[in-house]
Amino acid sequence: MLRPFEIHEPGTVEEASVLLARFGIDAAIYAGGTELLLIMKEGLAHFPHLVNIKTIPGLDEIALSAEGDELQIGPLATHWDLERSPTVRKHAPLLAEVESQVANTRVRAVGTIGGNLCFAEPHSDLATLLLAWGATLELSSSEAQRVLPAADFTLGLFETARQPNEILTRIRLPLLSENTAGAYRKFSTHERPMATVAALLEVKDGIIEDVRLAVGSVGPLPIRASEAEALLRGQSIEGATFASAAELAASASDPMDDLHGSADYKRQLVRVLTAQALMEASGRAAGETNEG
Amino acid sequence: MRVESADVYNSAQIQIRMIVNGQSMEATIEPRELLLDFLRDRLGLTGAKRSCDVQVCGTCTVLMDGRPVSACCTLVYEAQNRELLTIEGLADGDELHPLQQSFVEQSALQCGFCTPGMILTANSLLEEIPNPTRQQIQHYLKGNLCRCTGYWSVLEAVELAARRLQAEGQSEGSA
């Protein structure tokens, strides 16, 4: 049985922030609970105060921005919601695709995108995807608000830039341009993925104008494979050296030996998954060009 | 040994209301109580099983407002004003639900430990997608593990139940 704790039900972000500030390290934000309750059950952490932010209205909204250029996602949107949301499926189908493959049906039914990012479990599908995507995150406390790029949010194993009294209040995803296509690949033998790769390719007149490639789950936090990106930028889509780029991504990935597999094995996975993701993204980019 | 009073947290009792298998009830709970313990130990509903205890295996699956959840990792606090369905609530009296009947006919179980979770997850699927493809069934049931029967007969049982439920729906519609 879990050790006793109290659940607080704030009505606003400000109230939640005040509670978090008051209880300090004795408090944790409680949303879907899919990660938090696991560590509490294992006795790895105990929080005498859980601040249930599900009692704050509006934090689960999924909508297009007024300008129509970005998707704005409330942190309490569940993987289930994002997998099914017509807005997501229309404007960011790659996100819906990735969400549909997170963990399993039950985890998706209650697990939230905000909880996934804030927990910073190193095998997060979303952390890898949003790093490549260039998402930005809004954080609010009773004192201030700030916006951080996803790249500056995850700092390490279970560690983010979120301050104890801050709440992630919105995830902003710029809509991809018409010339951009993406793909996501992962490989798992356990419940959580052993390696994750997200690739976004912007192709214009057969030339790769931009590439964003993120590799995750093999080390403490996802990284951008910038050398691989630099190699591909400016190449023609038909003659693109995806195998060499995959090689560079594998070298940059710096995997850890752990229960999922050896560092060498993970490096090999990154090599294979990167090549696959790039091939798939380029296929999609070509398909879109043909349609256009 | 002296215990600092600040280290001892007595969680308050909370009064909650919920509907379990069609019946409304009130209960006094502690925030730390897990739904699986509440169902099994307090209500005697032992269809949901504890196995992996970390949301991987699916044996503790119950439906909360129609969505499958892992009762082992859900606070009963979450059931406040929600509707719960466990395997005990699926049959209509002595008449098995079409999913249960199909599992029996397709021999989609041996030991039966995973079966309540499989059937409830499939029930949620058929509510959402009455005529699912095999790929959709696999996607939904991916997190429900079976360690003896295998999955083939389970997939066939879900497909059979889907056909029957659709036929029932059509005959009701035309009646």
| Same domain? B123 vs B163 | yes
Residues in chain A, pLDDT under 70:
288-292
Q: Residue B170: what pLDDT?
A: 84
Any bridge partners for residue A146, and if so which?
A: A139
Of B89, B124, B145, the one marking the end of a domain is B89
Note which residues in 104-123 of chain A have CB less than 8 A from chain B.
104-107, 109-110
CA distance A288 to B103: 44
ipTM score for this prediction:
0.94
Q: What is the CATH number of the domain that holds B70?
A: 3.10.20.30
| Same domain? B148 vs B84 | no
Whether residue A38 and residue B73 make contact (CB cut-off 8 A), yes or no, is yes
B3 occurs within a structural domain: no
Chain A residues touching B30 at Cβ < 8 A: 4
User: Distance between terminal CA atoms of chain B?
Assistant: 75
Could you say which architecture CATH assigns to the domain A6-52? Answer: 2-Layer Sandwich (3.30)
| B171 phi-psi bin (left φ>0, alpha ψ -120 to 50, beta other) | alpha
| Same domain? B53 vs B25 | yes
What does the domain layout of chain A look like in residue ranges? 6-52, 62-173, 181-286
Note which residues in 46-105 of chain B have CB less than 8 A from chain A.
53-56, 58, 61, 67-70, 73-75, 77-78
Fold held by A181-286? Enolase-like; domain 1 (3.30.390)
Whether residue A7 and residue B67 make contact (CB cut-off 8 A), yes or no, is no
Of B63, B89, B115, the one marking the end of a domain is B89
Q: Cβ(A130)–Cβ(A95) under 8 Å?
A: no
Residue in A closest to B77 by C-alpha: A7
Q: Residue A291: what pLDDT?
A: 40
| Same domain? B75 vs B17 | yes
Of B54, B89, B124, the one marking the end of a domain is B89
Fold held by A62-173? 3.30.465
CA distance A119 to B174: 52
| Same domain? B60 vs B126 | no
Note which residues in 218-257 of chain A have CB less than 8 A from chain B.
none
Whether residue B124 and residue A105 make contact (CB cut-off 8 A), yes or no, is yes
Q: Which of B11, B73, B124 sits opposite A6 (nearest CB)?
A: B11
Which one of B10, B32, B64, B145 makes the best mutation probe of the A interface by having the most chain A beta carbons within 10 Å? B32
B164 occurs within a structural domain: yes
Q: Cβ(A71)–Cβ(A175) under 8 Å?
A: yes
| Same domain? B105 vs B79 | no
Q: Residue B149: what pLDDT?
A: 86
pTM for this entry: 0.95
Q: Residue B4: what pLDDT?
A: 45
- Give pLDDT tens digits for A151-163: 999 999 999 999 9
| Same domain? B68 vs B119 | no
B6 occurs within a structural domain: no
Chain B residues touching A48 at Cβ < 8 A: 9
Q: Residue A125: what pLDDT?
A: 98
By residue range, what is the domain housing residue B82? 12-89
Whether residue B74 and residue A33 make contact (CB cut-off 8 A), yes or no, is yes
Mean pLDDT of chain A: 96
Q: Residue A288: what pLDDT?
A: 54
Contacts of A66 (CB under 8 A, 6+ apart): none
Parallel/antiparallel/unpaired status of strands B67-70 and B61-64 = antiparallel
Note which residues in 182-221 of chain A have CB less than 8 A from chain B.
191
Q: Residue A292: what pLDDT?
A: 34
Count how many domains chain B has.
Answer: 2
Token pair in block for residue B146 = 């079976």
| Same domain? B119 vs B155 | yes
Any bridge partners for residue B97, and if so which?
A: none
Q: Residue B175: what pLDDT?
A: 54
Written as tens digits, the pLDDT of chain B (175 aa) is 444 444 445 568 999 999 999 999 999 999 999 999 999 999 999 999 999 999 999 999 999 999 999 999 999 999 999 999 999 999 999 999 999 999 999 999 999 999 999 999 999 999 999 999 999 999 999 999 999 988 999 999 999 999 999 999 888 766 5
Q: Which DSSP string corresponds to B51-70?
A: SSSSSSS-TTEEEETTEEEE
B1 occurs within a structural domain: no
